[in-house]
């Protein structure tokens, strides 16, 4: 019985530790950076201005912080 309880506690603890690590990793290394955004805009036929790129990046950052709350 203690072995099964230990396995369950380890699995739950491991899940939450891995989740916390991944959230921290994605905060420090966002999956989309400005250069990727510019290339995506050019592929869609838009001419990326610096102002537009900064505006989109700011909205993405605001949306990700809003999800945390």
Give percent above pLDDT 70 in the chain.
96
Q: Where are the domains of the chain?
A: 1-31, 32-68
Whole-angstrom CA distances from 48 to 17, 37, 52, 62 are 39, 9, 7, 20
Residue 54 in tokens: 């900064």
pLDDT band (50, 70, 90) for residue 63: confident
Write down the mean pLDDT value for the chain.
88
Distance CA 21, CA 19 (A): 5
Q: What's the pLDDT tens digit per position in 34-55?
A: 888 999 999 999 888 899 999 9
pTM for this prediction: 0.52
Which tokens hold the place of 4? 């099964």
């Amino acid at each position: 019985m203690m072995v099964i309880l230990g396995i369950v506690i380890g699995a739950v603890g491991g899940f939450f530790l891995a989740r916390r690590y991944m959230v921290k990793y994605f905060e420090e290394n966002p999956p989309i950076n400005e250069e990727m955004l510019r290339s995506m805009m050019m592929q869609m036929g838009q001419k990326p201005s610096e102002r537009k790129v900064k505006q989109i990046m700011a909205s993405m950052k605001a949306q990700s912080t809003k999800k945390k709350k």
